[in-house]
Amino acid sequence: MVPGILGRKRGMTTIFSPEGTAIPVTVLEAGPCYVTQVRTPEREGYSAVQIGFEESKRLNKPERGHLKTLPALQHLREFRVGTEGAPAVGDKVDVGIFEPGELVDVIGTSKGKGFAGVVKRHHFRGGPKTHGQADRHRAPGSIGATTTPGRVLKGMRMAGHMGSRRVTVKNLRVVRAEPERNLLLVEGAVPGPKTALVVIRKTARAK
């Protein structure tokens, strides 16, 4: 069985449990996906399944040739699987692979914030607001020593591009799975803006 699926983030809402507890959930429109390739240890050296999501009219000839008789799927991702019970090319994958209460990891691209300073990017406190300080309220302060080591150390937290990075949120609980509507509701927040492409997979390390 394929341990994951591709989908798009549709937004957040609140649902209520039978006990009346409010649960913040993210609505994901996931699948249907199709198995586009099966990798085997004999041929590629490892076992994995490639699945595709969302049709497109803008595929080039190599991409169409790779998919052969399958729909023109534009988003392809791989999932490691065992050698036993591997699916076949063309098999359909939907949110029915998840059960309510199951834990999943969601991988997405965080919102891009552009160029950001250290206060916003790294939560620095900033400089003093008095005692003659001017234009230093949001400055980073010292970034290194003098002759020794005579350079700025790697990894120094400074201003720069913020966001637009691959982010994995682990151990989100599946609240509801609706295969007939291709909807998956998970408890908590998911990286990225609305309509962002996400990968949902069964968690490898449950809490």
In a domain, residue 147? The reply is no
Tens of pLDDT along 28-46?
999 899 999 999 899 999 9
Same domain, 67 and 130: no
| Residues above pLDDT 90, as percent of the chain | 78
Same domain, 68 and 86: yes
In a domain, residue 148? The reply is no
Answer whether 198's CB lies under 8 Å from 7's CB.
yes
In a domain, residue 128? The reply is yes
Q: What is the CATH number of the domain that holds 46?
A: 2.40.30.10
Q: Which amino acid appears at position 168 of this protein? A: T
Same domain, 187 and 108: yes
Same domain, 81 and 19: yes
User: How many domains is the chain built from?
Assistant: 2
Task: Output the six-digit token pair for 142.
Answer: 């010292």
Same domain, 99 and 188: yes
Range of the domain at 129: 119-142+153-159
Tens of pLDDT along 141-183?
999 999 999 999 999 999 999 999 999 999 999 999 999 999 9
Same domain, 51 and 126: no
Same domain, 62 and 101: yes
Total residue count of the chain as it appears in this document: 207
The reported pLDDT for the residue numbered 78 is 94
Partners of 77 in the beta sheet? 51
The reported pLDDT for the residue numbered 207 is 66
Same domain, 133 and 107: no
Q: What's the chain's Rg over C-alpha atoms?
A: 23
Same domain, 124 and 39: no
Tens of pLDDT along 113-130?
999 999 999 999 999 989
Q: What is the C-alpha to C-alpha distance for residues 109 and 168, in angstroms, rounded to an integer? A: 9
Same domain, 130 and 105: no
First-to-last alpha carbon distance for the chain, in angstroms, is 23
As to burial, measured by CB atoms within 10 angstroms (0-12 exposed, 13-18 middle, 19+ buried), residue 83 is exposed
In a domain, residue 197? The reply is yes
The reported pLDDT for the residue numbered 1 is 82
Same domain, 39 and 123: no
- Chain-wide mean pLDDT for the chain? 92
In a domain, residue 124? The reply is yes
